[in-house]
A and B are shown apart, each in its own frame.
Chain A
Amino acid sequence: MDLYEHQGKDLFRASGIPTPRGIVCHSGEAAAEATRELGGRSVVKVQVQAGGRGKGGGVVLVDSPERAAREADRMLRDGFGGLPVTRVLCEELLSIAREFYTSILLDRSTGSYLAMMTAEGGVDIEELAHTRPEALRRVHIDPMLGIRTYHLRALTGVLPPEARALAADVLSSLFRLLGEADATLLEVNPLVLLEDGRVIALDAKVTIDDNALFRHEDLEALTSAFPIDPVEARARAHGLQYVKLDGEVGVIGNGAGLVMSTLDVVKQAGADAANFLDVGGGASADLMATSLEVILSDPSVKAVFINIFGGITRCDLVAQGILGALTRVEAHVPIVVRLDGTNAEEGRAILADAAHPRIVPAATMLEAAQRAAAFANGEAT
């Protein structure tokens, strides 16, 4: 999960990494008050779990509490990049001498950690790595050995001499935090050298490993601040893997790869999926019923496509689950069902016997996608 900047900065401060003085505000009025407290001027920063805030009007320098209130109100009203905004961060203005970039992340390619540093702040790092790789220092760190002084020398060597010692302290603290918080990414863009000689994290991007949340109750509690789609909340409460998408075909499948593949095949058939929903292996009739309820509660869904390849999952139980769900909720849209694999024939027979007016059986994944797309596009009834 990605943290808000202000949450990331709380973790930074607790790890001894300097950050600007800042106050989280939930209203324009609070932003004005915070700006007064910060000396009458501040930086108002929108809080969203996404990048590109600087370019999109999400970071604004203000020279009065009134201006702060106006900007904060605008951000809270309009949202940012299609995302709802519930809070802004007002921070003190600082005299910046130089801007840098640093990050440490879990490098999937090598299974180790990768630390990066450049003296060019506020850059698009992917772009820089491509166009001027010599400007970016990259060091791999063995997870068993941790960050060593020669790593720090190599990384900070790219910075002006007066910033190196304090930047090395920041890197050491970042690496310690990475391990302690089970983070997979810590990014500081920019890390700045101030006129007074301090080195300070002006931004904080923190990604925590979802798989490790069981050992971080404090971090898991931070998720309560995140906006969540009501259908998504319901799915999550039942332990289903669910992602809301923009289309009209509700998709239920078993296994992440098969569901992703199903979304692609729906697209090829001329429609867009409304969601990703993986019921997982060994799905029971009850879980199947819950999944269908979740999908049918999404008002944008015009057709449902259930794509099950039974391995551990038994298709007869899936069929019972579908029929069970239809006694609990009313289906206002057609439900195209493709069953294959373990007990598929039994499953198909159960659906055929029930002859439910909303259920449309399909023999293959491709055919099912075409039927569902036709329903969603109003080309079939």
Chain B
Amino acid sequence: MSVLVGTGTRLVVQGITGNEGTFHTLRNRAYGTQVVAGVTPGKSGQDVEGIPVFDTVADAVRETGATTSMIFVPPRFAAEAILEAADAGVHLVVCITEGIPAKDMAQVHSYLAVTRSTLVGPNCPGVISPGEANVGIIPGEICAPGRVGLVSRSGTLVYQIVHELTQRGIGQSTCVGMGGDPVHGVGFVESLALFAEDDQTDLVVMTGEIGGDDEERAAAWIGEHMTKPVVGYIAGFTAPPGKRMGHAGAIVTGSKGTAAAKAEALEAVGVQVGRTPTEVAELVATALA
């Protein structure tokens, strides 16, 4: 078993006919993901290298039994794409798109609470369960199947840390890129809860960054509920207050959201926090030895 995506995932790609959509769909399929459909309004009846394209997600679900959606739709249409997927009954929606207005995401967040759909992202690299399925843009070749779960706000930090783990012979059960936006779907707490229940995961690595209080809430949850060891990393110790560091959500507001406060909150509940990605990998290796 793994979490969120696996051998049972049947993927529909919204925005499959765009450059990025096509490129990553084919990479995901080459990795072994069951890609069953694509959606681009007005292009039903066409196909992308044998993957049938539909006008709506509802059509795709009805015709192919898709269970998971991946979204590569431009930011101004992406919030609607998430709502459409939820209404079509897709269980998991992975939204890669960066740049969606926060107001649109707040509405999506409110609506999803009354549906059965789970959202990962937006502004995220997706989810990979090595050896089983890849839904998103994480390069599959740097991962290896194994028993460490990962959850991260940053995409390239996932790559960096996964790479360091794989080089040390430590594989991963699932890597969750939760995304760098202020309003997002699955976060640290939800991911930790999934990993805690997953009998293929022995240890979890969580990598946070400045801004918001996702890491502080994760620390509170770990203190009360977590049954497995957690190793942490926080990026942005040197980030000045009031400056947005690339990600929409990566900003220290007043005295809130600093890397130091986050690391302290995690350490207070027994999480070992590495000061560099390399140190994180070393801490994992030591904890598993």
Contacts and interface: CB of A to CB of B under 8 A. Distances in A.
Contact of A209 (B101, B157, B180): B101
Interface centre among A209, A241, A256, A341 (most CB of B within 10 A): A256
A341 B159 contact: yes
Given A109-B212, A257-B209, A364-B278, A211 B137 contact: no
A263 B160 contact: no
Contact of B246 (A184, A245, A276, A341): A276
A127 B216 CA distance: 19
Interface centre among B138, B154, B211 (most CB of A within 10 A): B154
Contacts of A212: 101-103
Contacts of B76: 214-215
Interface stretch (B65-73, B190-198, B250-258): B250-258
B277 A267 contact: no
Contacts of A254: 156
A265 interface: yes
Nearest to B277: A261
Interface in B16-39: none
The number of chain A residues touching the other chain, given as a range, is 35 or more
Interface centre among B139, B152, B210, B238 (most CB of A within 10 A): B238
Given A257-B154, A265-B276, A312 B139 contact: yes
B8 interface: no
Contacts of A142: 110
B226 interface: no
B207 A211 contact: no
B250 to A, nearest CB: 6
Contacts of A342: 139, 141
B240 A245 contact: yes
A282 to B, nearest CB: 8
Contacts of B157: 255, 257-258, 261
B138 A311 contact: yes
A324 interface: no
B103 A256 contact: no
A104 to B, nearest CB: 12
B47 interface: no
Contact of B103 (A209, A261, A266, A278): A209
Interface residues of B, number: 63
B171 interface: no
Interface string A97-109: 0000000001011
A365 B278 CA distance: 9
Contact of B239 (A215, A260, A266, A365): A260
A143 interface: yes
A366 interface: yes
A241 B243 CA distance: 12
Interface in B250-278: 250, 254-256, 259, 275-278
Nearest to A145: B110
B180 A256 contact: yes
B246 A241 contact: yes
A257 B247 contact: yes
Interface in A270-286: 272-273, 276, 278, 281
B260 to A, nearest CB: 11
Contacts of A263: 236, 238-239
Contact of A144 (B111, B211, B236, B247): B111
A111 B236 CA distance: 23
Nearest to B141: A342
A283 to B, nearest CB: 11
Given A108-B182, A311-B155, A260 B235 contact: yes
A268 interface: yes
Contacts of B275: 264, 268
A311 B152 CA distance: 16
A256 B139 contact: no
A258 B157 CA distance: 5
A190 B153 CA distance: 36
Contacts of A210: 244, 248
B142 interface: yes
B245 interface: yes
B217 interface: yes
Interface string A167-198: 00000000000010010100000000000000
A260 B75 CA distance: 24
Given A265-B276, A365-B277, A309 B183 contact: no
B256 A143 contact: no
B91 interface: no
A281 B250 CA distance: 17
A304 to B, nearest CB: 17
Interface in B142-157: 142, 152-157
B13 interface: no
A218 interface: no
Interface of B: 75-76, 99-103, 105-107, 109-111, 125, 137-139, 141-142, 152-157, 159-160, 163, 180, 182-183, 207, 209-214, 217, 233, 235-240, 242-250, 254-256, 259, 275-278
* 7 A-B pairs closest in CB distance: A257-B154, A255-B156, A256-B246, A111-B109, A212-B101, A258-B156, A257-B157
20 contacts: A106-B106, A144-B110, A182-B102, A184-B182, A210-B244, A211-B99, A214-B76, A243-B245, A256-B156, A257-B152, A261-B157, A266-B238, A268-B275, A281-B155, A309-B156, A309-B159, A311-B125, A312-B139, A341-B159, A365-B278
Given A109-B212, A109-B217, A257-B157, 8 more contacts: A106-B182, A108-B213, A209-B103, A211-B248, A212-B101, A256-B209, A281-B137, A365-B278
